[in-house]
Each structure stands twice: as structure tokens, then as C-alpha cells.
Amino acid sequence: MSIPSPDFKIYETALRVGGLAAREAGAYILSESGAVSSDDIFVKGTHDLVSRVDHEAQRIITAHIAEAFPRHHILAEEGDDNVHIPGKGYTWIIDPLDGTTNFLHGVPPWAVSIALAYQGEPQMGIVFDVTRNELFTAAEGMGAFVNGQPCRVSDSSHLNDSLLSTGFPYRDFEHMDAYLSALGHFMKETRGVRRPGCASIDLAWVAAGRFDGFFESGLHPWDVAAGMVLVREAGGRLSNYEGGGDLTPLGGQIIASNGHIHDHMAHILQPVRNVLNPA
């Protein structure tokens, strides 16, 4: 997929404004950790929770962005139901609290995820791991960083030497059997499979070389947009379960890896893809 060429200077400002917004929202979220009552929790869908903390974190982030970039479009999770990323101009794609279920149960990780897309293509990404105080940043052509230090994907070339992460199905169970069969293969053929419960962190940890690969389906643009830039800029590879396919529209199914184990992962996930996207 070819990456459009915007005005690159904008990404330096965007990283600064987005980084400030992520840290301020993160500090707020941390201050509310353990203080959310059941009256503050709402059910959006099957096993899909939102709290007043998600909404307030989003207000903090969008206020920063609207002030610095009043002409940019904003797509944020806790907004309207219209998941639309315009093909023209700049769009901020925001998950104010990724890992809400973790947060509400007091189980890290959870994160703030902020991306900036140009002509529909994410080109700057920020993921802030609130409890570990780790800020992951990347922008097109500028590399990927953890708290300002450059990071790269891992170099393990075989599944046998790899640690993977995934997201379990939790609201759409049609592909459950195919998913469990693929998971069984990965359990036998890798060092282990983790389920952190926070897709932006799954991707950030692939970018940082902690996980060698990640796969999940049923994701939304705000779950993956920032993490995709991190993985790309850290030298990794991204695709859908077909392996060669692109990721537009953002979300759906995703494989993110260090590149070396990608085709093997896609091969194991092929039966899941056949259920999700029958010919």
C-alpha cells in the first residue's frame, strides 16, 4: 500500500499536542483507578463496557486537538456511531481508554491511543501505557520510540522462538471453533500466547520487540490506528488474515508481526479467515 505524502512538519506538532493530551488523559484515568462505581458503568453491547472515565478522558483529548487543529476531523470511540474516516485531509482517530474492562477490574494494561491519519491512512501514532508510564510514539518516516528511545521489532525468525499475543472473541462467536483450532496450533508451536486485553498495547509491544506477533479480529479503527504506525515504523509488517491483503478499512482482522513469522501466522489463520470472509 503506498503512503500518501502530507506536510511532514505537521507530525512534529501533532506528536507534541497528542503526547500532552495522552499524558493528561492518562493522569486523569489513573486518578480514577479503583474509584468507579457500578452506577458509572454502562453496557454498549455484548461484553462491551464504557464508563464516565472513558467519556471524560475523551473530552480532555479532543479539547487539546480541537484547539491546536481546529480544521481537522476527529473520529473518537465514544462519539457518534458513524465510523467514517474521510479520504481527504487529516483525521484524528482516538480511543480515550483502550482496555476499559481491564481498567474497571483493576487489571493492567490499559492505554490512551491517538492517531493522525492523512487521506485515510494513519501516519502518526501515540499509545500511552498509563500504569507503566510508557509513551510509544511514531510518525511516518521518523521511526518508533518508547519514552523517546528508538525501538524496533524483534528478530526471531521462527514461531518456535516467538511469544505472541491475541484478543479472544468476546461478542461475535461465529468463528469460535476455527479460532480455537488456530490458537491450539499457536500454543503448540510458540513459546506462548498472551491476551493482554488492550489492542493498542498488543501492537505497541510488537513494535517494541516484546511480542513477536499479534492477531485479532473484530477490531475498530480506534483500536489499531496508532499501533499500526508504531509497528510499521519499528520495521514490522501488517496485514489481514490473508497475509497479503491491506488493512483498509482500518480494523477488522489484523496480523502484526516482526515480518519473519508473518507468513507462518497467516497460514495458521487461514481457516479463521475462511469463516470470517467466506468466498
Residues near ligand IPD (CB under 6 A) = 95, 98-101, 167, 197-199, 216, 218-219, 223
Q: What would the grid cell of residue 148 be?
A: 523517546
If one asks whether residue 129 binds Ca ion (CB under 5 A), the answer comes out as no
State the nearest-atom distance from the C-beta of 198 to ligand IPD, in Å.
5
Distance CA 245, CA 237 (A): 11
Binding-site string for Ca ion from residue 93 to residue 112, where x marks contact by CB under 5 A and - marks none:
--x-xx--------------
Q: Which is nearer to Ca ion, 72 or 220 (CB)?
A: 220
* Distance from C-alpha of 224 to C-alpha of 113, rounded to nearest angstrom: 8
Amino acid at 184: G
**223 near Ca ion, judged by CB under 5 A:** yes
Distance in angstroms between the alpha carbons of the first and the last residue of the chain: 23
For residue 167, the partner it binds in Ca ion, ligand IPD, none, with Cβ less than 5 to 8 A by kind, is: ligand IPD
How many residues comprise the chain?
A: 279
* Interaction partner, residue 226 (ligand IPD, Ca ion, none; CB < 5-8 Å by kind): none
DSSP letter assigned to residue 45: E
Q: Which is nearer to ligand IPD, 51 or 137 (CB)?
A: 51
Q: Determine the 3-state secondary structure of 117 from DSSP.
A: strand
Residue 198 interacting partner from Ca ion, ligand IPD, none (CB closer than 5 to 8 Å by kind): ligand IPD
| DSSP H helices in 33-123 | 52-68, 100-105
Nearest residue to 86 (alpha-carbon basis) of 97, 74, 95: 74
- Please identify the residue of the shown chain whose CB is closest to the bound ligand IPD: 167
- Which range binds Ca ion by CB under 5 A, 65-73, 92-100, 166-174, 207-215? 92-100
